[in-house]
């Protein structure tokens, strides 16, 4: 049982090394390893530690909210200046 586990471990390690050398190449020095790593492996934004934010405006909602704010502001202004409002807002 122990030899079976040893062979599995050896196969896994050899596979990992072959894949690593396939990606970065066979290094000649420590600087060569760093250069091959930076040239052949591109880290994604999440691994670099950055973020990407996309914001989108809902145009209909924004226009509706702006129109409501403007209407309320006009109503408040007309009440403060005691100007007569439109016929549909007056009470008899």
Query: Model's pTM, two decimal places?
Result: 0.33
pLDDT at 32: 77
> How far is residue 85's CA from residue 74's CA, in Å, rounded to a whole number?
10
pLDDT at 89: 57
pLDDT at 76: 86
Is the separation of the CB atoms in 22 and 41 below 8 Å?
no
DSSP labels, 24-78: H---SSHHHHHHHHHHH-PPPHHHHT---------HHHHHHHHHHHHHHHHHHHH
- What does pLDDT average to in each consecutive run of 10 residues of the chain (92 residues)? 84 91 74 75 73 84 93 85 61 52
């Amino acid at each position: 049982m122990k030899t079976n586990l040893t062979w599995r471990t050896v196969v896994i390690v050899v596979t990992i090394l072959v894949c690593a050398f396939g990606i970065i190449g066979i290094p000649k020095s420590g600087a060569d390893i760093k250069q091959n790593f930076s040239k052949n492996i591109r880290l994604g934004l999440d691994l670099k530690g950055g973020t990407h934010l996309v914001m989108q405006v809902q145009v209909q909602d924004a226009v509706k909210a702006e129109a409501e704010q403007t209407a309320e502001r006009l109503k408040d202004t007309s009440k403060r200046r005691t100007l007569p409002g439109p016929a549909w807002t007056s009470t008899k």
